[in-house]
Amino acid sequence: MIRLLYFAILREKLGKQEEMLEFSGSVGELRRLLIEREPHLADVLKVCLFAVNQEYVGEDFILKGGETVAVIPPVSGG
């Protein structure tokens, strides 16, 4: 079980800031699962960064369970 945290537009569009998910595998596989579950957010999810336990990780990072995973969409500012 992992704890997913959503930020910015993801939080707004999903209507939640976090959820628990039974998952183990790579961050890349998690991204694909989220896109499959939420195809209307595919464009955003494809460019999100992922942080595991407050550290940015790559697509090949393996989640084993018990982690907190932040899904961070790109932001713009001025």
11-61 confidence digits (pLDDT tens): 999 999 999 999 999 999 999 999 999 999 999 999 999 999 999 999 999
Q: Supply the range of the domain harboring residue 21.
A: 2-72
User: pLDDT-derived band of residue 75, with 50, 70 and 90 as boundaries?
Assistant: confident
First to last CA, the chain: 38
In-domain check, residue 78: no
Domain CATH code at residue 68 = 3.10.20.30
Is 56 a domain residue?
A: yes
DSSP string, the chain: -EEEEE-HHHHHHHT-SEEEE---EEHHHHHHHHHHH-GGGHHHHTT-EEEETTEEE-TTPEE-SS-EEEEE------
* 10 within domain boundaries: yes
Position 77 in a domain: no
The total domain count for the chain is 1
Nearest to 30 by CA among 72, 65, 59, 67: 59
Look at residue 63 and tell me if it is in a domain: yes
Give the pLDDT band (50/70/90) at residue 76: low
